[in-house]
Amino acid sequence: MVIFLGKHLSSRIDRRVIARVGSVVFLLIGLSFLLSAVTSSAFANIL
């Protein structure tokens, strides 16, 4: 199902747009992991 959806979207949307959206999502996921690690270590130091 996901593969079909990906093929369908890639045929309708420009590849540059897909690459830009993918890179933004990748950066957001990385930032969320980084913030999670920083906040968990900060709370561990408080306790």
Q: What is the DSSP string of 1-47?
A: -HHHHHHHHHHHS-HHHHHHHHHHHHHHHHHHHHHHHHHHHHHHHH-
DSSP character at residue 12: H
* Model confidence at 46: pLDDT above 70: no
Q: What is the mean pLDDT of residues 3-15?
A: 83
Domain locations along the chain: 2-46
pLDDT band at 38 (very low <50, low <70, confident <90, very high): confident
pTM exceeds 0.75, yes or no:
no
How high is the mean pLDDT of the chain?
Answer: 83
Q: Determine the Cα–Cα distance for residues 29 and 37; give it in Å rounded to an integer.
A: 12
- What is the dihedral sign for C-alpha 26, 30, 28, 32? positive
pLDDT, tens only, 17-37: 888 999 999 999 999 998 888
